[in-house]
Amino acid sequence: MVLSTDWREVADCYARKLGLQRDKAVDITFARFGYEGTLLMFAPDRLDRIELAEAHDPAFAMGRFSGKRGDALYMCYIETHDLADVIRRLESRNAKWTRRTDTGKPEQDGLWIHPSALNGVLLGVSRTSLAWGWSGSPEKVEEISEVQS
């Protein structure tokens, strides 16, 4: 969820209403995307979470979205064991997507599917376990060779 309201206030509210332990949350800052916020974890050993992000800078897509719509759902995220298959399916349908990395090699970490391909929903897709890298347990991220074998 992208917020124009202070993310700390919203996180406290969500934690109360959903019965989550606020002290188990993982605070995040992503200069690459121009936001800060928190991940409210449902369980410390699973990637089930709600990400609350406060974004104001119109130089970034999230800031423009927040400026236009205020507090709103911005994106959903999923994991896959076979990112290459997701890419093949998107390309076979000429669906607009953006790669996560800029390595020049085939994308192996993740991507974002443009809202125009999904009736207005921005969908992030990452390889299994990658989200641990920004969810408080980077040691749980599997190496790509482990994922592919």
User: DSSP letters along 13-44, please?
Assistant: HHHHHHT--GGG-EEEEETTTTEEEEEEES-T
Q: Where are the domains of the chain?
A: 1-72, 74-149
The predicted-structure confidence for 71-103, as pLDDT tens digits, reads as follows: 888 999 999 999 999 999 999 999 999 999 999
The predicted-structure confidence for 94-130, as pLDDT tens digits, reads as follows: 999 999 999 989 999 999 999 999 988 899 999 999 9
Sheet with 2-3, edge to edge strand ranges: 2-3, 49-54, 35-41, 26-30
For domain 1-72, give the CATH number. 3.10.180.10
Instruction: Return the H-helix or E-strand segment holding 108.
Output: none
Report the alpha-carbon distance of residue 113 to residue 69 in Å, rounded: 20
- Whether the pTM exceeds 0.85: the reply is no
At 118, is the secondary structure helix, strand, or coil? coil
Percentage, residues of the chain above pLDDT 90:
64
Burial class (CB in 10 A: 0-12, 13-18, 19+), 81: exposed
